[in-house]
Structures are given as C-alpha cells and as structure tokens.
Amino acid sequence: MNPYSKAIGAAVGGALVGSAGLPVMPNDTPWYGYILLYAVSIGLPALLTYLAPKNTA
C-alpha cells in the first residue's frame, strides 16, 4: 500500500473525528477556530501517516 492512499485514509478518518468535535466547541468560537479544528484533525493524521516508516516485519 503506498503512502498516499494511507494518508488519504487518515485524512478521511480525521474528517470524521473533526465533525464529531463540532458540537463540543463553544457557541462564541470565531470562524477560524473551526478551520483550525479541521486543519488539526485532518492534516495531522495525514501528515504523520505519510511520514511513518514502513513496517518491515
């Protein structure tokens, strides 16, 4: 499995987790707070999955 497909899978999972975090955010959150939530929950898992070393076992 190439790293691109694993990173895309991690991004999709992050999008689901980010959507689950929306109801928890306070009502007075500015617009960039929502973008930051999605940037962290989508971008971080995708980046870490892409950079992870290959399993050799």
pLDDT in tens, 12-56: 888 888 788 788 888 898 999 888 888 888 888 888 888 877 777
Taking the model in full, what pTM does it have? Answer: 0.66
Half-sphere exposure of residue 47: CA atoms within 13 angstroms, side-chain side: 6
Q: What are phi and psi of 54, to 5 degrees?
A: -70, 145
Q: Which position has the higher pLDDT, 2 or 33?
A: 33
Q: For residue 1, what pLDDT is reported?
A: 62
Residue type, 2: N
Rounded Cα–Cα distance for residues 29 and 34 (Å): 8
CA 30 to chain centre: 20
Q: For residue 30, what pLDDT is reported?
A: 93
Q: For residue 32, what pLDDT is reported?
A: 93
